[in-house]
Amino acid sequence: MYLRKDTVPVKVGPLTIGGSDEVIIQSMCTTKTADVDATVAEILRLEEAGCQIVRVTVNNKEAAEAIKEIKKRIHIPLVADIHFDYRLALLAIENGIDKVRINPGNIGRREKVEAVVQACKEKGIPIRIGVNAGSLENHLLEKYGYPTPEAMVESALFHIGILEELDFHDIIVSLKASDVPMAIAAYSMAAEKIKYPLHLGITEAGTLHTGTIKSSAGIGALLAMGIGNTVRISLSADPVEEVKVARELLKTFGLITNAATLVSCPTCGRLDIDLFTIANEVEEYISKIKVPIKVSVLGCAVNGPGEAREADIGIAGARGEGMLFRYGEMIRKVPEADLLSELKKEIDEIVRVFEAT
């Protein structure tokens, strides 16, 4: 068993990554970073969904300069994603970035690496080393023949070595692959050898449907082993969906407590109400709730009352109506047409009481 709290803690803005059981949710903007209004609008939507750190691509001077204005209008730490160009890293740091994702081994001459490390040190900014199975260094591909978990970990150690040689230790590491077993093996190996926090991700995982399954399988296996201090679900979809999936995944492992949980039945021939509509609407309704309540939506009176009693608030359907349960007690019967609105009212009340205590 690896334990995520055994990593060294690394500060990113006001957050601490690693050194505890907390797992931080990240996402990445899909906008052109230089388009400040569009980028800020997307980040604010991500914040509302529960995103705690957000990354933007910094692929040109305009993007690096936009960081200053973006930072003024958002409330979570901002990460610059930089490939190769150390001048963009320096400009991003100057403009107030909270973390830089760059692989020191790809920056080039030693003076350039030193310049980035020195600027990060002066501002207390960490560096994420992002190893990707699809872009391993040539010397590793020659040694191993093709991407392997061993090659990925060796790549991470190579980049870590460069930073440590410069006495830089505010390091976070990711080892992403789109092949789930390879990612699991690489992160497991890294957790044994690397003391720095690990950022988990299955890269290029796919669309909302397939990407959610692949990411949950890979990241879920790692979280269950105690590995991972931050997560990003990579989806070919609105990044808000990435945050929703990440929150559900962390909830599954009891790794976040500021989220409501929905229990709903798969339905069967006993069903007498439109449960799918109700369950989907309730799921959407509770997705922004930041307190740990449990809501159950069950189709009938066979299993419904038993399950509903386990929840803070729940309904069990019957022919044309439903029973409302609160903290295990049936509080009233409601016509089907009013079931959803009555359930929402009860949810609001429970949240209000929770927040007041």
261-264 β-sheet, strand order:
261-264, 294-298, 313-318, 321-326, 329-335
Indicate the residue among 276 and 354 with the shorter CB distance to ligand SF4: 276
Q: Which helix (H) or strand (E) is 131 found in, with range?
A: strand 127-132
In 58-103, which ranges are E strands? 78-81, 99-101
Indicate the residue among 13 and 299 with the shorter CB distance to ligand SF4: 299
State yes or no: 120 annotated in a binding site: no
Indicate the residue among 189 and 318 with the shorter CB distance to ligand SF4: 318
State yes or no: 268 annotated in a binding site: yes
Structure tokens belonging to residue 150: 């061993």
Indicate the residue among 20 and 280 with the shorter CB distance to ligand SF4: 280
Q: Within 13 Å, how many C-alpha atoms sit on residue 75's CB side?
A: 8
Number of residues that bind ligand SF4 (CB under 6 A): 12
Residue number with the smallest Cβ distance to ligand SF4? 299
Minimum distance of ligand SF4 from residue 269's CB (angstroms):
7
Helices (H), 258-322: 275-286, 304-310
Minimum distance of ligand SF4 from residue 328's CB (angstroms):
17
Burial 245-278 (b: 16+ CB within 10 A, else e): bbbbbbbeeebbeebbbbebbebeeeeebebeeb
Three-state SS at 226? coil
Pairing mode of beta strands 321-326, 329-335: antiparallel
Q: Per CB under 6 A, which region of 220-228, 234-242, 276-284, 302-310 contacts ligand SF4?
A: 302-310
Structure tokens belonging to residue 106: 């790809």
Sequence letter at residue 349: E
Pairing mode of beta strands 24-28, 15-17: unpaired
Contact call for residue 147 and ligand SF4 (CB under 6 A): no
State yes or no: 51 annotated in a binding site: no
Q: Per CB under 6 A, which region of 17-25, 62-70, 285-293, 295-303 contacts ligand SF4?
A: 295-303
Three-state SS at 99? strand
Minimum distance of ligand SF4 from residue 318's CB (angstroms):
10
Site mask, ligand SF4, residues 253-282, x = CB under 6 A? ------------xxxx-xx-----------
Q: How far apart are CA 92 and CA 97, in angstroms?
A: 6
Contact call for residue 297 and ligand SF4 (CB under 6 A): no
Of 126, 201, 218, 299, the one binding ligand SF4 (CB under 6 A) is 299
Indicate the residue among 270 and 288 with the shorter CB distance to ligand SF4: 270
Minimum distance of ligand SF4 from residue 224's CB (angstroms):
27
State yes or no: 29 annotated in a binding site: no
Give the residue numbers of the binding site: 265, 268, 300, 307
Residues in contact with ligand SF4 by the rule CB under 6 A: 265-268, 270-271, 298-300, 302-304
